[in-house]
């Protein structure tokens, strides 16, 4: 043992030294690093999983987006179509109404014209009777006496009046 330099106290001291460094390294080096490695491993796994999930969700979202977009486009087209149809219908209706209104206006105008004509005719016939009476008075005054004149005038007026009534009835 002497030749090899083995010394029991030194041997013991070296064993203790090694145990000390073992405990210190376990506390200072292995434990924190292995914990950290484990933690990172877990976190990376979680991250990868999350990425996959998100990608899936994104895919789904894109799909629903496209679907919604397509539907919106279809809806828009339908609405436009509907609007066009409605517009056409409205146009037709308007034209018909305009025609009707025009016809009504024309009819009213015609009726008014007729009325005016009749009124004018009546006025003319009345004036003609009065004129005839005046003329007959003058002629008879110079020819007959007042009595005969009156009788004759009354007869003529009756005739004229019945004529006027006949004429009125005819025009009505």
Our measurement of the distance from residue 33's CA atom to the centroid of its chain's CA atoms, rounded to an integer in Å, reads 70
Nearer to other proteins, 39 or 155 (CB): 39
Segment contacting other proteins by CB under 8 A, of 11-19, 55-63, 64-72, 128-136? 11-19
Residue 22 lies near other proteins (rule: CB under 8 A):
yes
Nearer to other proteins, 40 or 60 (CB): 40
Our measurement of the distance from residue 29's CA atom to the centroid of its chain's CA atoms, rounded to an integer in Å, reads 76
Nearer to other proteins, 34 or 57 (CB): 34
Binding mask 26-45 for other proteins (x = CB under 8 A): x-xxx-xxx-xx-xx--x--
Size of site (CB under 8 A) for other proteins: 34
Tell me how far, at minimum, the Cβ of 40 lies from other proteins, in Å: 6
SS3 4: coil
SS3 56: helix
DSSP 28: I
Helices (H), the chain: 8-25, 31-143, 146-171
User: Which of 128, 116, 115, 114 has the alpha carbon at shortest distance from 161?
Assistant: 128
> Which token pair is 12?
């013991």
What is the number of alpha carbons within 13 Å of residue 106 lying toward its C-beta? 6
Segment contacting other proteins by CB under 8 A, of 6-14, 46-54, 71-79, 100-108? 6-14
Tell me how far, at minimum, the Cβ of 47 lies from other proteins, in Å: 11
Residue ranges that bind other proteins, judged by CB under 8 A: 1-7, 9-15, 17-22, 24-26, 28-30, 32-34, 36-37, 39-40, 43
């Amino acid at each position: 043992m002497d030749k090899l330099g083995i010394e029991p106290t030194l041997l013991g001291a070296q064993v203790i030294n090694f145990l000390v460094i073992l405990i210190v390294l376990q506390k200072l080096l292995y434990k924190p690093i292995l914990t950290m490695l484990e933690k990172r491993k877990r976190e990376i796994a979680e991250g990868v999983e999350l990425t996959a999930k998100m990608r899936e969700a994104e895919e789904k979202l894109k799909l629903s987006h496209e679907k919604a977009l397509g539907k919106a486009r279809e809806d828009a087209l339908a609405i436009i179509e509907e609007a066009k149809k409605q517009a056409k219908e409205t146009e037709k209706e308007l034209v018909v109404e305009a025609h009707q209104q025009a016809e009504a206006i024309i009819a009213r105008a015609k009726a008014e014209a007729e009325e005016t004509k009749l009124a004018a005719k009546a006025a003319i016939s009345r004036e003609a009777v009065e004129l005839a009476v005046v003329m007959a008075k003058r002629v008879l005054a110079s020819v007959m006496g007042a009595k005969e004149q009156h009788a004759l005038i009354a007869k003529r007026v009756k005739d004229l009046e019945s004529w006027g009534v006949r004429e009125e009835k005819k025009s009505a």
